[in-house]
Amino acid sequence: MATRLPTRTPTRPNRPITDPRAAALIVLDRVERSKATLDAVLDDAAPMLTALSRRDRALFNQLVYGVLRRRLRLDAVVAAYANRSLEKISPLILNILRIGLFQILFMDRIPASAAVNTAVSLVRTRKASKAAGFVNALLRNALREPHRFHIPDALESPVDHIAITHAFPHWLASRWIDRMGVAETDRLCAAINTTPPITLRCNRLKNNLAELMKALSNQAETIEIVDTVPGGVNLIRPRVPIPEMKAFVDGRFAVQDGAAQLVSLLVGPRPGETVLDACAGLGGKATHLAQLMGNQGTIVAMDNVDAKLARLENEAQRLGVSIIRTRRADLNRSLPLETQPRFDRILLDAPCSGLGVLRRNPDTKWSSRQADIARLANLQARFLDHLAPLVKKNGVLVFAVCSMEPEENEGVINTFLKNHVNFAIISAHSMEEKTVLPFLGDDGFFRTAPHIDHLDGFFAARLQRTR
């Protein structure tokens, strides 16, 4: 579970806007000025987007996600043509330049002249007319003299080359090159910058996969079954917003990446068991666990944010799940054992850096810091320590993070196993759910990666309490 806080940003006036570029500028400006996540800003801005046509909403999404994915590259282009340092350009004007350059460099269907003219119009409508000449000149110079910007040589400076080419923080590019080498880092960064499909999970409590595919047949340009994920469906360029689809309203599917779906299969819950989802968030995995259990048994969905638990309860109701019981708890502190049940299975989808889900959360590129990784690994270890006593003998404890960083992966688990000798990794040959086997390494750990599996980057370990 990526750490994406705060979950809300202060509500601001959100009058409907008909210009997708103006709407994109507002959202990008709010993301940069606040500490809120892109998801939170988009939730807050929803009323502003109601006046956008389907086509304009698509352009808005392209601009927001595209600028955030390519921000460092766009800033490097600005620096090559500006007559001042980036620090002396106001955040508003810099975001206007990013929007203009993204259209020029990465969008084929928008004429360069239109990108320039609309950028200048944005400056004027935001009452910054003094900067109109600067914006106009910079964008036109970028068009006339493309040779002034160049990407660092891959052999002379591989970190700079990867960072500028794919727009990744230098510290992250350096870290991945040290671990994976230049070629694999290049492939990983390129995969992260692609637009991922919207992945759905068929809710087998209400329909089977064939019935869902039929219900969605006219809802998107392309609908495809995810071969590696049972019940997974990719929706590409939907024609209708997801919340407005009848199949969604009827609870026939949930939105969830394939890697996250595989984690629930790794847990492997059985009907009638008692299961704990210890960091349940909005309930994506809790409702999937309930589905795998045939809605028989008990699931305790725990989180420390009341608003998340309320949304989880609504989601469970939509999906026809009745076995989930929500509970607020803070795993930073030990749970009083005398008041706790013991569980057949526990899932800890722990707070993490979220560096495995940058395809879907490009803003995390720019909010993450290298120091976060060690801090979050310590938090994950503490959560595991507090949950271990709640596992029944022969019960299962699954640790999962949407991160591919060793400190948050095998580093956490290896430390846990040293301190808890009554737990062991469950070997692949004893795994009940065979679907997960292709994603298990020789070390018994579950891993997915965007450039290899076309899924989000997840790590998981399935542990059993032996005594």
Please tell me the distance from the alpha carbon of residue 405 to that of residue 87, in angstroms, as a whole number: 31
pLDDT one-digit tens code per residue, 273-292: 999 999 999 999 999 999 99
pLDDT one-digit tens code per residue, 78-94: 999 999 999 999 999 99
> What is the three-class DSSP state of 83?
coil
Is CATH 3.40.50.150 the right assignment for the domain spanning 258-465? yes
Look at residue 430 in the predicted model and tell me its pLDDT: 75
Give the class (CATH, top level) of 198-255: alpha beta
Look at residue 428 in the predicted model and tell me its pLDDT: 79
**pLDDT-derived band of residue 34, with 50, 70 and 90 as boundaries?**
confident
Beta pairing class for 459-465 and 391-401: antiparallel
Q: Which of 78, 91, 79, 87 is nearest to 126 (CA)?
A: 91
> What is the three-class DSSP state of 454?
coil
Q: Which helix (H) or strand (E) element contains residue 463?
A: strand 459-465
For residues 303-318, average pLDDT: 96
Is it the case that residue 5 has pLDDT exceeding 80? no
For residues 438-452, average pLDDT: 95
Look at residue 1 in the predicted model and tell me its pLDDT: 66
For residues 260-266, average pLDDT: 97
Look at residue 6 in the predicted model and tell me its pLDDT: 40
Is it the case that residue 337 has pLDDT exceeding 90? no
Look at residue 2 in the predicted model and tell me its pLDDT: 57
Query: Which comes out higher in pLDDT, residue 10 or 95?
Result: 95
> What is the three-class DSSP state of 217?
coil
Is it the case that residue 244 has pLDDT exceeding 50? yes
For residues 4-8, average pLDDT: 42
| Cβ atoms 353, 361 nearer than 8 A | no
Please tell me the distance from the alpha carbon of residue 126 to that of residue 352, in angstroms, as a whole number: 38
Is it the case that residue 163 has pLDDT exceeding 80? yes
- Phi first, then psi, for residue 356 (nearest 5°) are -90, -10
- Catalytic residue check, 402: yes
Give the Å distances, CA to CA, from 347 to 20, 117, 397. Answer: 41, 52, 6
pLDDT one-digit tens code per residue, 90-135: 999 999 999 999 999 999 999 999 999 999 999 999 888 899 999 9
For 206-218, letters b (16+ CB in 10 Å) and e give bbeeeebeebbee
pLDDT one-digit tens code per residue, 41-88: 999 999 999 999 989 999 999 999 999 999 999 999 999 999 999 999
Beta pairing class for 220-225 and 232-238: antiparallel
Look at residue 340 in the predicted model and tell me its pLDDT: 72
Beta pairing class for 298-303 and 324-328: parallel
Look at residue 9 in the predicted model and tell me its pLDDT: 43
For residues 409-424, average pLDDT: 97
DSSP for 226-247, please give it.
-TTSTTEEEEEEESS-GGG-HH
Look at residue 271 in the predicted model and tell me its pLDDT: 98
**pLDDT-derived band of residue 175, with 50, 70 and 90 as boundaries?**
very high
Look at residue 10 in the predicted model and tell me its pLDDT: 44
Q: Which of 189, 202, 279, 402 is catalytic?
A: 402
What are the extents of the domains in the chain?
Answer: 158-192, 198-255, 258-465
Look at residue 3 in the predicted model and tell me its pLDDT: 45
| Cβ atoms 217, 253 nearer than 8 A | no
Q: Which of 174, 113, 107 is nearest to 144 (CA)?
A: 113
- Tell me how crowded residue 90 is: count the other CB atoms within 10 A of its CB: 10
Q: Give the mean pLDDT of the chain.
A: 94
pLDDT one-digit tens code per residue, 374-397: 999 999 999 999 999 999 999 999
Is it the case that residue 338 has pLDDT exceeding 90? no
Residues 6 or more apart whose Cβ sits within 8 Å of residue 53: none
Q: Which of 371, 372, 357, 433 is nearest to 398 (CA)?
A: 433
Look at residue 116 in the predicted model and tell me its pLDDT: 97
Q: What is the pTM of this model?
A: 0.93
For residue 446, what are the β-bridge partners? 440, 460
